[in-house]
Chains A and B, each alone.
Chain A
Amino acid sequence: MKVKSERPMKQFKGAILQSISRLDFLSSIKGRAEWYMMVIGMSILVLFLGIAVFAPYISPHDPNAMVDKPFLPPNSKHIMGTNQLGQDVFSRFVWGSRTSLLIAGLSTIIAFVIGVPLGLLSGFVGGKLDRVLSMIMDAIYAFPGLILAIAVATMLGPGILNVAVSLAVVYAPTYFRVIRNQTLSVREQLYVEAAKALGADKMTIMSYYIFPNVIPSVVVISSLCIADAILTAAGLSFIGVGISPEIPDWGYDVSNGQRFLTYRAWWIITFPGLGILFTVIGFSLLGESLDEILNPKLRER
């Protein structure tokens, strides 16, 4: 049993390293459409990540302090204007990137960690286990996402980690379903049978033959889920079960600021809105290009 528990870890590590080692041909796709998609996506994300990491140095004011008159349009002192409470929109934008990226990243990681292994197991083992897991996941899936997130978030209370967990609960079934269905189809491929005929054990088949063949679809779902997660998190903050208002957050600012559009205060929601938009575009571009790049068959075209 000891040997058994050590080997799979090594194999999974091997499978992941193997996926990374495929990047060695990166230079060969230079100049192609996927290359530009990846570069643009990466630069957007790196830019926002930089803003998030260096927020204390970039932001000119305390994001929660009343620094000027409310509803000031963008001017030389406040390049994104001020909001209804007289807070500096730019400072809130800079600090908000932290929250949004953190929630998006955390929820995706948690959903991945729950959904992917369960999906693999369910699809590969099949039988009763598959039935039980699928039923549980379908039950979760049947709830409208926002309602479920609200329920879980209410239970857990406010806080970044709690919001991320409640979002992960909503998105884990998506990962589970996609991975399970892919596993079911890959499991029947001749190369899996050939591997069995050459003496591969179950763990080898899962980690070398099934996992790498199902993982490209995860890249695409996660880029979609990340985008959705940021918006749902905004919804949670809006009704007060998400992040407390003193933590600046793009989603909260957008949902809160829309009331003031009637005062022609467009700047309150436009800038955090653009932040969400570009983050989503960045993840999508990166996701799509990685899908093309990591798939050795698509790569040849």
Chain B
Amino acid sequence: MMSLLNISRLKTYFYTYRGVVRAVDDVSLSIEKGEALGLVGESGCGKSTLGLSILRLVPPPGKIVGGKIIFDGENLLDKSEKEMQKIRGKRISMIFQDPMTSLNPVMKIKDHLVELIKTHEPDTSVSEALERASKFLKELGIPPERMNDYPHQFSGGMRQRIMIALALILNPDLVIADEPTTALDTIVQAQILELLKRLRDEYNMSLILITHDLSIVAELTDKIAIMYAGKIVEVADTLSFYEEPLHPYSEGLLKSIPSIELSQQKLESIPGWPPDLINPPSGCRFHPRCPYAKPICAKEEPPLVKMGENRIVYCFRWG
């Protein structure tokens, strides 16, 4: 079966005065239709850049310098800007981290939605678009009469619901959610996750959930990809990942989640800091912090090791 999205050897570099920042370096990843993937990593590891690369929205001085992004059989990197505009929002859409600033302060909610629908489906009349918008908002728990309000009149959770409405109303094949709940408090966070889960099942869309929070990934995703310093280090289905993380970095990440049940244990952290992406460590980028490091780790790039059906890990420990 063909994957919905197949990223292969993608490289996105930022050309800064200090040097070239390899934010996404040789990353390969694929997502099936209807699948939810959690993209997890520390801040600065390139996960948001990967998300923006898929939409071809990497801000300058960033540039996609190599690889392929095959979406539904077509390479997105070959598309013109005009063609990309037709894909963004309609076939692939994105939810951002901060709902407080991701809506235009001088546009009413209904104008946001109507504008979006009219952009991608110019034949729709305004009244049709309005009707569709109000139906969808209702489904997301926003009373349709509030469509006449401005963004600042809503709470953070409500605004994130509106962002989700904007991202999903045209029923895209793929939604990229970049830390959708980070700016929200825990209760609202749970509501938003619940909503995303329900909508995903209902509309059978694929989802890339970008986050640094392993606890929310477990609830929502089928598959997890761990990213470290611009590289994917491990891809696994969610259940087996939590049972047995293979990469030493994944292990460290899981151990560093505070938990009520394990309260007697000491909370572990990974020693050291994430590397500078201008001068990443040679060989395996994790080796300076890795408890299992061997001499070869500093010399050569770790190989891709297939462990079982759907598990991939890049590590000398297993290969």
Contact = CB atoms under 8 A, between A and B. Distances in A.
A37 interface: no
Interface in B112-138: 115-116, 119-120
B282 interface: no
A49 B107 CA distance: 33
A199 B88 CA distance: 4
Contacts of B242: none
Contacts of B150: 296
Interface in A204-253: 204, 208-209, 212-213
Nearest to A205: B104
A190 interface: yes
A163 to B, nearest CB: 35
B209 to A, nearest CB: 16
B105 A199 contact: no
Nearest to A126: B60
A198 interface: yes
A65 to B, nearest CB: 53
Interface residues of B, number: 32
Contacts of B107: 18, 208-209, 212
Interface stretch (B90-98, B227-235, B251-259, B270-278): B90-98
Contact of A198 (B98, B101, B105, B166): B166
B87 interface: yes
B102 interface: yes
A199 B152 contact: no
Interface size class of A (residues with CB under 8 A): 20 to 34
A197 B163 contact: no
Contacts of B163: 194
Contacts of A194: 94, 96, 102-103, 163, 166
A212 B112 CA distance: 14
A197 B57 contact: yes
Contact of B87 (A196, A199, A204): A199
Interface string A173-216: 00000000000000001110111111111001000110011000
A201 B102 contact: no
B153 A198 contact: no
Given A196-B57, A197-B57, A200-B119, A208 B88 contact: no
A199 B101 contact: no
Contact of A190 (B82, B101, B120): B101
Contact of A199 (B59, B86, B98): B86
A199 B106 CA distance: 19
B85 interface: yes
B85 A208 contact: no
Interface in B50-79: 55, 57, 59
B38 interface: no
A198 B104 contact: no
A212 B111 CA distance: 13
A297 interface: yes
A218 to B, nearest CB: 14
B166 A296 contact: no
B93 A197 contact: yes
A193 B98 CA distance: 12
Residue with the greatest number of chain A CB neighbours at <10 A, chosen from B101, B103, B106? B106
Given A18-B111, A300-B152, A198 B88 contact: yes
B115 A199 contact: no
Contact of B88 (A196, A212, A297): A196
Interface of A: 18, 189-191, 193-201, 204, 208-209, 212-213, 296-297, 300
Task: Sort A-B residue pairs by CB-CB distance and give the 6 closest, nearest first.
Answer: A199-B89, A198-B89, A199-B88, A197-B94, A194-B102, A190-B101
Interface of B: 55, 57, 59, 82, 85-90, 93-94, 96, 98, 101-107, 111, 115-116, 119-120, 150, 152-153, 163, 166-167
Given A194-B103, A213-B105, 19 more contacts: A18-B111, A190-B96, A190-B98, A191-B102, A191-B104, A193-B59, A194-B96, A195-B104, A197-B89, A198-B88, A198-B94, A198-B166, A199-B90, A199-B93, A200-B85, A200-B89, A208-B111, A209-B104, A212-B104
